[in-house]
Chains A and B, each alone.
Chain A
């Protein structure tokens, strides 16, 4: 269920802007949970059938980008190709207090911006499934002098059941080829 990038065709009426605002609030709440290390609460925002995917990105010849630049979901190796269970394991690992790559805990800030709704089903006013795109800047500071910046795009499919919103599919496009960080301990 990879979604190809394109300029959204959804009509930007009042219902659209209300929905976008709701999505923005959701992303900001999510960022706060991560930055404030409320990992269990964050896990609840992840749908039980979540697909959490971060490809590796390759330098390819002009014209090959669409097909070859990113590694593919469920095909070969990527950085992340996770389900709910592995995300839970990652949280559980931090909670042991002896996951030394996160002990002491890093200081992390998630900035989410350029939020757009690319499509909504059945429609913006009554959306139960929402495709979104955004940009992220994740700043991580570790121990004393260690720091990393992760910048890129994120394509999320959110599902809404009444008042409850959850991430059903997340594709994280990090703007790096060789990973310029020793670890990916942060959540995206």
Chain B
């Protein structure tokens, strides 16, 4: 495949500049669909959405529709939602329970394990010609259930998911694990789906840890909408990380996160003050977590993006969001909201209401993000605009490999100041995908920035 990006590029990620074509070019977008979304691990859904045999949830991978289904034997599958005969979608429901996917077109049917069950008039018209075994629904070659979250890749040579995550795993875990530190145990309580006219990478990049965009949330910060706002606390969430050292971390495979490390023996910052019962619940979770994780409990998540298009909000609010590409200038956001499955109903209700006022198209915080992404996309499509690269020089050459922060070793390339080094790293990897590089390259194994020999020197 040709290297479309290089042909016109004014990109230099060492310098800290990126061609705007990344966000508006039809050609680059086509290349992304072929090289990024066919290989990278993509988030598909959560096991709590399909608890029983026959349960399914219609999802997406890139531009394409897929079905997440638990078969009759309780095995989870991800299938391309397209009939093998003439391509009709075999499932047009958002979710449900079924024993068969019946194609509306010529009525081929598929069992929940993807196998052809029925083909009308098979005996008279296909016998001896069509081998049913070969015409099952197309299944992803790689799929994993990671702490209840289902991820898949179309590349049979993709490394296993945990290798792909690398050191970012620890941070994603903070979003997926119970608030009291037990591993996993989350459930999805709803999915927002909406479209917005912006390139998908604006959203992905935002969650890599673009904390620099804080000014765009001034309105919610002024009025206060957080879990303690009814007590007059301003801000869009409780500032539990007030006294912590923030860390902005880039990982070799292109993931990036913004997390924080509490100081040793730090006092608990009171949260969820709107309701004393909820406050007590989370204080209890905090203490449990400390006991369970010991020193490691000092690491807390904020946001992150798992390359290429799955972002998370780790605490307040708590969700995973997938940025599905529609076109260079249009994206469909799917935000999956999380709670601990065994949390009391009252806690779930409290969180749900907070999530609704914070996140997504109806959320008072995120509305302002989308305004930025829309008009940044729009104002970058012009011929003249495209002659000028974007600037990614924020805190350049300041990250360190595996430093100690507040006495805790933090793995990855880390800065304790706001920075865009995660974005620079993300686009380095993104470019490798566009260039059809091998998996060593895609995982950043040859990237000198992550070589142990460079440990300690600023990068």
Contact = CB atoms under 8 A, between A and B. Distances in A.
A96 B218 contact: yes
Nearest to A60: B93
B274 to A, nearest CB: 10
B94 A100 contact: no
A126 interface: no
A76 B367 CA distance: 21
A36 B221 CA distance: 26
B371 A178 contact: no
Given A77-B337, A180-B195, A93 B189 contact: no
B190 A77 contact: yes
Contacts of A14: none
B361 interface: yes
B96 interface: yes
A182 B198 CA distance: 10
A90 interface: yes
Contacts of A98: 218-219, 222
A177 B364 contact: no
What is the predominant secondary structure among interface residues of chain A facing chain B?
Answer: loop
Contacts of A82: 356-357
A177 B94 contact: yes
Interface residues of B, number: 43
B223 interface: yes
A74 B351 CA distance: 11
Nearest to B355: A77
A80 B93 CA distance: 23
A179 B360 CA distance: 10
Contacts of A143: 375
Contact of B223 (A81, A96, A181): A96
B197 interface: yes
B371 A183 contact: yes
A46 to B, nearest CB: 16
Contacts of B218: 96, 98
B364 A58 contact: no
Contacts of B370: 101, 182-183
Nearest to B357: A86
Nearest to A184: B362
B364 A93 contact: yes
A173 to B, nearest CB: 15
Contact of B368 (A59, A99, A184): A99
Top 3 closest A-B pairs, CB basis?
A77-B190, A182-B196, A179-B194
